[in-house]
Amino acid sequence: MWERTDRPYLHWEFTYENGEKSDRNNPETFIEGCEKIYDQLVAYGKNINPAHTPLKSFSNAKKIIEEILAEEVVKEKRINSWRKAIESGVLYQNKGKEALNYDPSAWEKEKAEFPNLSDSGDAHELNVYKFHQAATYHRYFVLKNLLPRNNIVIF
- Is residue 71 domain-shared with residue 129, that is, in the same domain? no
- Is residue 36 domain-shared with residue 88, that is, in the same domain? yes
Mean of the per-residue pLDDT values of the chain: 86
Closest CA to 110 of 97, 95, 126, 94: 126
Task: Please report the pLDDT score of residue 44 as a whole number.
Answer: 93
- Is residue 94 domain-shared with residue 39, that is, in the same domain? yes
- Is residue 147 domain-shared with residue 71, that is, in the same domain? no
Question: Mean pLDDT over residues 18-32, rounded?
Answer: 94
Q: What is the number of structural domains in the chain?
A: 2
* Domain span holding position 120: 103-155
H or E stretch at 18: none
- Is residue 97 domain-shared with residue 22, that is, in the same domain? yes
- Is residue 81 domain-shared with residue 125, that is, in the same domain? no
Check residue 139 and report its DSSP letter.
H
Torsion over CA: 143, 149, 152, 153 (sign):
positive
Q: Rounded to an integer, what distance in angstroms lies between the CA atom of residue 147 and that of residue 150?
A: 5
Check residue 144 and report its DSSP letter.
I
Q: Select the highest-mean-pLDDT range: 84-93, 109-118, 122-131.
A: 84-93
- Is residue 51 domain-shared with residue 107, that is, in the same domain? no
Q: Rounded to an integer, what distance in angstroms lies between the CA atom of residue 43 and that of residue 37?
A: 10
- Is residue 76 domain-shared with residue 138, that is, in the same domain? no
Task: Please report the pLDDT score of residue 117 as a whole number.
Answer: 52
pLDDT band, residue 115 (cuts 50/70/90): low
- Is residue 94 domain-shared with residue 139, that is, in the same domain? no
pLDDT band, residue 1 (cuts 50/70/90): very low
Q: Rounded to an integer, what distance in angstroms lies between the CA atom of residue 62 and that of residue 68?
A: 10
Evaluate whether 38 touches 98 at the Cβ level (below 8 Å). Answer: no
- Is residue 141 domain-shared with residue 90, that is, in the same domain? no
- Is residue 73 domain-shared with residue 5, that is, in the same domain? yes
**Bridge partners for 112 per DSSP:** none
Task: Please report the pLDDT score of residue 139 as a whole number.
Answer: 95
pLDDT band, residue 16 (cuts 50/70/90): very high
